[in-house]
Structure 1
Amino acid sequence: MKLELASFGGGDPIEWLHRVEQYFEFYQVPEERKLAIAAMHLVDKAADRWFMFRHESPHSWRRLSELLMREFSVHNYGEYQAALARITQVGSVDAYMDQFTKMSRRAPGFSSLVLLSFFIEGLREHIRISVKAHRPTTLYAACELAKLFENNASLSRSSSHAHYAVANRGPELNPEVQHRPLIQGPQRVPAPLNPVVARNVGENRRLSQAEYQERHARNQCFFCDEIFRPRHNCKRG
């Protein structure tokens, strides 16, 4: 497999500088040859700037990359490094990881331990405390822990909101009984519309309410002591 090194003529140099680094690493280019190889791939405005300022600093690949950052990037290496040291999480952990990765690519020179420290210190406080307690030794481990604790915090908030809603909801009433009065007075049995008159031999008298209820419960004739049946012929009627 053969890797081709693209030329650079202007614009943001970050991507081109990283591809050059990958090219040097793949072919194991010695340090003393890196400058010559990179300079041969400069064209147009970038080649003009290199020709103009090449005598200002010692010839090295590092100095060339710094010159290109100074001339074509919005910020130089020093400004990116300062920004990386102050970076803080604003949104989600994933968004913070993207921002941190983009910034760290523009601020080379930091060791892996320094990058790990920058990343942890920029996390939200409740996530940072939890991640620090686990003492991660790699940036990858710190990222995974940060996402884990962010997810746990989100689940905890959801559970708390659900518990609060249930605790503050009044008792549910059965729609069939919710309109019943809480205190009911003694119920009165309605008296018959036409009071029944019991006819005994030689006298007429009214049945009392208790007698009426008793005879009605036993299906007994209101006028005699016999059980009431269809076509009943009351002997005292």
Structure 2
Amino acid sequence: IQSGKIVSIAEKDKSSILPNGMAARLTKIGFPIFDGSRVRDWIFRCEQFFDLDSTPAELKVRLASIHLEGKALLWHHHYMANRFGISPSWTDYAVAASARFGELYDDPLSELVGLKQDNDSVEVYLEKFEGALTRLALPEAHALSIFLTNMNPHLALDTRKFGVQTVTAAAKIAKLHESS
């Protein structure tokens, strides 16, 4: 973002102009709006923006604050007023926002281990599993073990026969068995 407007990545990086004069990357990036819901997703998208934009550390909180709405904006005013003019780091701000707007009890590993396929399709189970998995740094072998253990037993058995090494591969095989 420059001068309060959205700038395409290609405008920011003139080296991406192709010989035909066209920009190689035409994606415009806008800063995510936050209204107090889905705080983990918002923080993730902010960090992606900061990385793509090479946002200086001292501007991150200020940039985020102008994209707040509703209860998130009210919280921000109160949070900043209690800091007596001292700007927090982005990390401190994200932790405070998570404490205010996050889940009351957040245990992503417990959520992942407790997730069962039950009557869900493999696709629905995979989506739920990936949603919980994104909040953890688990080795693929551990994630695969949990995924297969909590899958419907007949599908898990058929899937294990193929010696799959990833959750994605396991889901693909399970979907094939599910559809047959």
Query: Which structure's CA Rg is the greater one?
Result: 1
**Cα distance in 2 for residues equivalent to 1:36 and 1:108:** 28
Please report the TM-score for the alignment, with normalisation by the length of structure 2: 0.60
Q: Measure how far apart 1:144 and its partner are.
A: 0.1
Is residue 159–residue 170 contact of structure 2 (8 Å, CA) maintained in 1?
Answer: yes
Secondary structure of residue in 1 paired with 2:64: coil
CA 115–22 in structure 1, closer or farther in 2 if over 3 Å, else same? farther
1:12 is matched with 38
Q: Measure how far apart 1:89 and its partner are.
A: 0.5
2:29 is matched with 3
Please report the TM-score for the alignment, with normalisation by the length of structure 1: 0.48
**Cα distance in 1 for residues equivalent to 2:144 and 2:93:** 27
The equivalences for 1:48-197 within 5 A come to: 48=77, 50-51=79-80, 61=91, 64-76=93-105, 78-91=106-119, 92-105=121-134, 107-152=135-180
CA 127–110 in structure 1, closer or farther in 2 if over 3 Å, else same? same
Unaligned runs of 5+ in 1: 153-237
Q: Measure how far apart 1:129 and its partner are.
A: 2.0
Q: Measure how far apart 1:6 and its partner are.
A: 2.5
Is residue 10–residue 45 contact of structure 1 (8 Å, CA) maintained in 2?
Answer: no
- Higher RCO, 1 or 2 (CA under 8 Å, sep at least 6)? 2
Give the AA of the match of 1:134. F
Give the AA of the match of 2:127. D
More helix by share: 2
Secondary structure of residue in 2 paired with 1:100: helix
RMSD after superposition: 3.2
**Cα distance in 1 for residues equivalent to 2:140 and 2:108:** 16
- Residues 139-172 of structure 1: CA deviation (Å, up to 9, x unaligned): 22111011122233xxxxxxxxxxxxxxxxxxxx
Unaligned runs of 5+ in 2: 1-7, 9-27
Identity across the alignment (%): 20
